[in-house]
Amino acid sequence: MGIPRLLSNAMGRVSTVRYYQTVLVIAAALAVVAFYSFGSDRQNFSSTTKRIKETHANHANSNDCDLSPDTKTEHRDSKAAAAASVRDAGTASTDSVNAAAWKRGTPEEERPRYFHAIMMFAKVDKSQSLQHKFQIAMRSMLKHARFEDGEVLTLHFVSDEPSREIGEKMLKDLLQGATFRCEVSFHNVKALTEKLFPIVEAMQKHFSAGSGTYYSDSIFFLSVAMHRIMPAEIKRIVQLDLDLKYKTNIRELFEQFNHFPAGAVIGIAREMQPVYRHTFWAYRRENPDSKVGDPPPDGNPGFNSGVMLLDLEAMRRSEPYNQLLEPRSVGRLADKYRFQGHLGDQDFFTMISMEHPSLFHVLDCVWNRQLCTWWKDHGYGNVFQLYYHCQGPVKIYHGNCNTPIPDD
């Protein structure tokens, strides 16, 4: 074979190699584009928001309660479900749609107004009791709920995938016939736990049951760091337990935000049992003149987290509150008050309220009428009624410790 032909063949092979290299580079670039367009969390957030926009357009003049397109998917494997679940910011925020409308110059009077409520919905697939409580809560909420035109109730559920599937099926029936606009968003509990753990890890040893499963316990501190999880567009949210029964329009609960005093970031009702009289026993023994753990109106009986109003915007701005999240601050207060709890977020809020009551707007007991009487029969019968008394028409019953809720 001659040298010219050898050179020609060699150059051909080089060209072929370069061709395939070019193809591979282009393929890799397309893969990256595809990843960010279809697979990444950030773009999934945007695409979910886009689908919600389309839903808004389709339901612009209707009053109904609608599962968002993301929750209507009937067949998903676990990876697809995880991608569809809300991550990064913690929600496919319908407020993002609102913000987009502002950018388009929509007049203020035509902008939707969103009311956000969030509930823990994990391990519901394994508990008939939780499913029953959820049905009671949702039926009573929808029975009394009234919202005006242009207002949207957004229901957020923190859930694992099996529970999500149960929730979607139940909500399709429960939400039928609603007289107002609402949307549903499911949030992946594992994704939220990953974000919460670094923030709340230090406080868990003071406010967890001591099972050692601190990573999974992080989700019980969601309200503590909600302002760092949710996107900035969501400024206010109410967190609700599943074992509730609503006796009034839930929109009235949102109006309680308007009563927050200056500096308050959280609205929460007092604990209606002598739980913290017991928890603070060592501090009370050493400080007999303290009002810590005493009943109202003069004492501080602590808080119950069954119903909470979280002013996320105020929480983000509050330097005192965010300093209290620091491990050193948590440790100092826990040592001072000899505090060892097991009730998660409400333990944290109770402890910091002993020195920072101005961070809280105390809800009237009728907004979280707790029914549990366990402590009455466990050493505190003589003072129980001082904590348990609640005057006025009940707006929300709380069947804590599996206490039956009165029928209508």
What are 73-112's pLDDT values in tens digits? 333 343 333 333 333 333 333 343 344 444 455 666 667 9
pTM of the model: 0.78
For the stretch 61-71, pLDDT in tens is: 455 666 653 44
Task: Identify whether 105 is part of a domain.
Answer: yes
CATH of the domain at 105: 3.90.550.10
28 has a pLDDT exceeding 60: no
Task: Identify whether 252 is part of a domain.
Answer: yes
**Strand intervals (E) in 220-317:** 236-240, 244-246, 266-270, 303-311
Task: Identify whether 191 is part of a domain.
Answer: yes
For the stretch 145-180, pLDDT in tens is: 999 999 999 999 999 999 999 999 999 999 998 999
Q: Which residue has the higher pLDDT, 234 or 93?
A: 234
Question: Residues of the chain with pLDDT > 90: what percent?
Answer: 64
Task: Identify whether 41 is part of a domain.
Answer: no
Other beta carbons less than 10 A from residue 46's beta carbon: 14
Task: Identify whether 28 is part of a domain.
Answer: no
Task: Identify whether 307 is part of a domain.
Answer: yes
Task: Identify whether 386 is part of a domain.
Answer: yes
Task: Identify whether 218 is part of a domain.
Answer: yes
Compute the 3-state secondary structure of the chain and give helix, strand, coil in percent, each to the nearest 5: 55, 15, 30
pLDDT-derived band at 210, boundaries 50, 70, 90: low
Task: Please give the Cα distance from 330 to 193 (Å, whole number).
Answer: 20
For the stretch 288-342, pLDDT in tens is: 999 999 999 999 999 999 999 999 999 999 999 999 999 999 999 999 999 988 8
Task: Please give the Cα distance from 401 to 398 (Å, whole number).
Answer: 9
pLDDT at 59: 46
* Domain span holding position 164: 62-402
Q: How many domains does the chain have?
A: 1
